[in-house]
Structure 1
Amino acid sequence: MELTINAVTLAVEDLARSRAFYADGLGCAVEQEQAQFVAFRLDGGSALTLYPRRALAHDAGVDPGGSGFAGVTLNLYAADASAVDAFLKRAEQAGGAIARPASAAQWGGYFGYFADPDGHLWKVVAP
């Protein structure tokens, strides 16, 4: 079996709030929804799913009390710097927080970070 990522599941404190952030705020189309689960189909065939934090921790057999930087960021590639700026603005207007304002990178690109309502970090980057 080859290593691929079919879906990324985010543990969230408030499923309704996170659903609204991703669906209403960022425009992700809901593909499947249950009482404690929401799935969005993303471009490229992968999915982003949301699951209550305590339930997901139980599912994985770990303590749900983790905090701080989890050592993971999600990346969103944009066409150019103006698209980076526009998406960061959209995320902030939807209820996210700008973790790092967009700026030119040493390697020649342009990027910034936002955090969703549960603190999951997204890097928005353009070449």
Structure 2
Amino acid sequence: MEQKVSFVTFATADLDAAREFYVTGLGWTALLDVPGEVLFFQIAPGTVLGMFDAVKFAEDLESAGAPAVSGVTLAHNLNSPGEVDACVAAAERAGATVVKTPQKAAFGGYHGHFADPNGVVWEVAHNPGWTVDASGRVAIGVIG
């Protein structure tokens, strides 16, 4: 199997709240929006973030139980601690719950966490050891 991810999709209890948060609150543009079913955003070249109605998600999996995700964060890296503060504040204004106020991180950078209206947790970070070259290749260096 090729080492790549094309879609990250979350079962979403309230698709309208997700739309309000990401589209109206954060200003994101939907790649595909099927009301009552699914909402997709292109988040990187060849990569899509999906918010799938939880009932439809379970039907798609042919699962009787409600799908659950735990121990997962989506991460958004920025160029400075000030950008982290601004991003977390914008997410909070859009309806997010701040899980961890931005602060110095154990890894040597700076980060904070927020949860979207459906509980999807985002880490917003400035990590000076994180670089992406012109080809898109990531390097993670040790800080300090």
Shared topology, TM-score over 0.5?
A: yes
Q: Partner of 1:59 in structure 2?
A: 60
What SS does the corresponding residue of 1:64 show, helix, strand or coil? coil
Structure 2-normalised TM-score? 0.80
Determine which structure has more spread, i.e. the larger CA radius of gyration: 2
**2:82 matches 1:82:** yes
Output aligned runs, 1:1-127, within 5 Å.
Answer: 1-35=1-35, 36-62=37-63, 63-64=65-66, 66=68, 70-127=70-127
- With a CA cutoff of 8 Å and minimum separation of 6, indicate the structure with the bigger relative contact order: 1
What SS does the corresponding residue of 2:31 show, helix, strand or coil? strand
Per-residue deviation at 1:61? 3.6
Q: Distance in 2 between matches of 1:109 and 1:44?
A: 26
What SS does the corresponding residue of 2:108 show, helix, strand or coil? coil
The 10-residue stretch of structure 1 (34-43 or 72-81) with the greater mean CA deviation from structure 2: 34-43
The 10-residue stretch of structure 1 (4-13 or 35-44) with the greater mean CA deviation from structure 2: 35-44
Q: Distance in 2 between matches of 1:61 and 1:76?
A: 32
Superposed CA deviations along residues 45-78 of structure 1, whole A, max 9, x for unmatched, are 3111111112212322441164xx7111111111
Report how many aligned residue pairs link the two structures: 125
Superposed CA deviations along residues 87-126 of structure 1, whole A, max 9, x for unmatched, are 1001111111000111001221000100000111100010
Which amino acid in structure 2 is aligned with residue 52 of structure 1? D
Superposed CA deviations along residues 25-49 of structure 1, whole A, max 9, x for unmatched, are 1121111121311111113331111
Structure 1-normalised TM-score? 0.89
Unaligned 5+ segments in structure 1 are none
Q: Sequence identity of aligned pairs in percent?
A: 33
Q: CA RMSD in A?
A: 1.6
Which amino acid in structure 1 is aligned with residue 44 of structure 2? D
Unaligned 5+ segments in structure 2 are 128-144
